[in-house]
Amino acid sequence: MRHREVPALGRGGSFRTQLLALTVSVTALGVLALTVLVQVVLARSTNHNLDTVLADRAEAVISSARTDTDGRLDVPDARLDAGVAVYDGSGRLIAGNAPSSEQGTYDALSRADRPRTVNGSSTDETRVRAEPFTVPGGASGVVVVTERLAPYERSERQALFVSIGAGLLMIGFAAALTHWVTRRALAPVTAMAKAADDWSEHDLTHRFHPGDGRNEIASLGRTFDGLLERVAATIRSEQRLTSELAHELRTPLTVIQANADLALMEDPPPHLRELLDEITSACARMGSVIESLLELARTDNARGVAATCSLRDAVLEAISTVGSADVRVEISPMQRVRLPTHLVVRATAPVLENAVRLANRVEVSSAPGLPGFIELCFDDDGPGIAEADRDRVFEPGHSTGSGAGLGLSLSRRIARSMGGDVTIGDPSLSTRLVVTLPSA
């Protein structure tokens, strides 16, 4: 069956970060485009207003002009503002005056035959307009007016600063709103993912039960429930198989153990006794593994067990099962864990056996862990665990000695079934294994 391709997920940081970055980018582009548009429209409006002002000033001068009795053009000085000059038809200045900084521009426009608007040539930016006219009586001339651009440009700059400030506020508001919305929207997803991960490891009886809701969160909850149900079915099948195999192995192992014990009672030769001792020891180890497998198969959710026990007593019992007295225990008799003794023994015995087999000195101590948990630390003077083997040592079948490679794997599985874990210390403490158990 051909599976539908699913878009790649989880690349480039969290989804919330990606969505926030996308929102900020799109908003920034929108603000930039809007700012440019506002500046273009404002520039065109400013130019239009400036041309209108120049035209109105020129029209005011033209409306006051007349032809005198000699047929010459006459303009009252009272109607002339600064920077206004009136020239007759020959280009001679008859009224007003030209600014010294724009004298050349005024002279060039004094004989204009049509309305013209140019930018001034001085460092003080100006706009200059020449308007030719003819008054009743036949006299003609040209009026030249100017207007400084600084006030208009100042308004444009202020508008630009306002646009930039408003744009930054808009981007900040969009980012804050997106962060708030995504946090509220994705918080249930994050909580559900963490809960599903924890339940799949420790408690397969829990479900989300989202009901018949049609939103995405309810759909995700139903999907998680389906996955958890399949995981639970798989683990239950594994537990049944483990239990059946353990029961099938225990009977022939008991026969082997009994025959080896009987042979030892007949005072065999030294070389045969050595072989029988090895068989007996191997049977004892295998028996311990089988008991752990059976215990694991029976333990659906050990965190629900109401019994408690003394942590120190459980560790001492685990030491006795390993058969080594050279283990230093620094655990307060008052410390208790929320588990029955036999489960603590099953979780710690493989760790102790591994330490005793590879080291000369073993020390067991306790330390506070996360709220509601106690960390049981196993330190030794052995070779430690290489960085490359930190995960492999917990894989079934991985062994550093003559064992079956099930010890640490079983220990971790049992601890996790009780809500705890078995981990290796920091790289600087590679000879430390930590068993985390729920405290009473």
CATH number of the domain enclosing 372: 3.30.565.10
**CA pair distance 435, 414, nearest whole angstrom:** 10
The answer to whether the CB of 436 falls within 8 A of the CB of 378 is no
**CA pair distance 145, 102, nearest whole angstrom:** 11
At 430 the pLDDT is 65
176 and 39 part of one domain: yes
In a domain, 235, yes or no: no
In a domain, 184, yes or no: yes
At 166 the pLDDT is 92
What domain range is 380 assigned to? 302-438
In a domain, 63, yes or no: yes
Residue where the block lists tokens 């630390």:
377
CATH number at residue 21: 3.30.450
40 and 177 part of one domain: yes
316 and 187 part of one domain: no
**CA pair distance 434, 186, nearest whole angstrom:** 34
25 and 150 part of one domain: yes
**CA pair distance 172, 175, nearest whole angstrom:** 5
Q: What 3-state DSSP class applies to 397?
A: coil
In a domain, 140, yes or no: yes
Residue where the block lists tokens 């600084």:
150
Domain closes at, from 178, 194, 210: 194
**CA pair distance 409, 354, nearest whole angstrom:** 12
Report strand pairing: 126-134 vs 362-368.
unpaired
20 and 168 part of one domain: yes
28 and 177 part of one domain: yes
24 and 167 part of one domain: yes
Paired residues of 145 in beta bridges: 129
18 and 155 part of one domain: yes
At 12 the pLDDT is 53
In a domain, 347, yes or no: yes
In a domain, 346, yes or no: yes
In a domain, 283, yes or no: no
308 and 190 part of one domain: no
323 and 185 part of one domain: no
**CA pair distance 19, 13, nearest whole angstrom:** 10
In a domain, 206, yes or no: no
188 and 337 part of one domain: no
The answer to whether the CB of 378 falls within 8 A of the CB of 364 is yes
Domain closes at, from 177, 194, 211: 194
Residues of the chain with pLDDT under 70: 1-13, 78-79, 122-124, 199-204, 292-293, 295-306, 324-325, 396-407, 427-430
Number of domains the chain contains? 2
Kindly report, residue by residue over 131-147, the tens digit of the pLDDT: 999 888 778 889 999 98
Domain closes at, from 169, 194, 219: 194
Kindly report, residue by residue over 34-62, the tens digit of the pLDDT: 999 999 998 899 888 888 889 888 888 88
